[in-house]
Homo-oligomer: A and B are copies of this chain.
Amino acid sequence: MFDAIRGAILDHRLAPGTKLREVSLAELFGVSRAVVRSVLARLGHAHLVELRPHRGAAVATPSLEESRQVFEARRAVEEALVAKVARSAEARDVARLREWVASEQAAYARGDERDGVRRSVDFHRRLAALAGNAVLARYLDELVSRTPLIALAHRGSAPAPCGCEDHLALVDAIAARDESRAAALMRAHIGHLEAALNLRPRTPPQSLAEVFGRAPAGR
């Protein structure tokens, strides 16, 4: 059930802000409200739903500031992870990573963008797994899980797929055991992701005059 709701949010089948009423979910999944409550608590802790006391649960709508902080956290975590992988990865691991990037490219090449994006995200997870640090890997998992929600809430126009070229370059740096280059590439890659999401304020101090297209004195 947790995975079902999580998947629905990640696949953009549940829009941000959608209220998640306990009774509806309970009868929908054929379970009691208690377990629904438990699942919602877990989703809340993963920041996929927002829980406000006495006011129910809703699919999270990450603010711009929050989104930027998530990307900044990704930079910190993934730089450390990729550096460690570059330090310790074996040839077989590198080969598997390369295969995976190829499968990404294949997915995009045949036009299956959904599968491509999923594989691109999984690339980051696999990289994290190779680092052999469960703590950082879990943080990364949480952060990448929040990313689709951010994309939906603040995307400009493009669907923003993970650039495969970046991934390929990363694998090359890892294969060359070039720790610092790998970290720099990762930093750049996450910068690309963030830029592709058009994460600038959508007109942040969005004045009312601008919205209604008239001067404040007008009336």
Whether a CB of chain B sits under 8 angstroms from the CB of A73 is yes
Whether a CB of chain B sits under 8 angstroms from the CB of A80 is yes
**Chain A 85-139 interface residues, beta-carbon cutoff 8 Å to B:** 133-136, 139
Once A34-B34, A139-B139 are accepted as A-B contacts, the answer to whether A133 and B73 lie under 8 Å apart by CB is: yes
A78's nearest neighbour on chain B, judged by CB, is B76
Interface size class of A (residues with CB under 8 A): 20 to 34
Whether a CB of chain B sits under 8 angstroms from the CB of A75 is yes
Render A17-40 as a binary contact track against B, CB cut-off 8 A, 1 for contact. 000000000000000001001100
- By secondary structure, the A interface counts as helix
Residues of B within 8 A of A136 (CB): 69, 72-73, 76
A205 to chain B, nearest CB (A): 19
A residues adjacent to B (C-beta < 8 A) = 34, 37-38, 41-42, 45, 66, 69-70, 72-73, 75-77, 79-81, 84, 133-136, 139, 143
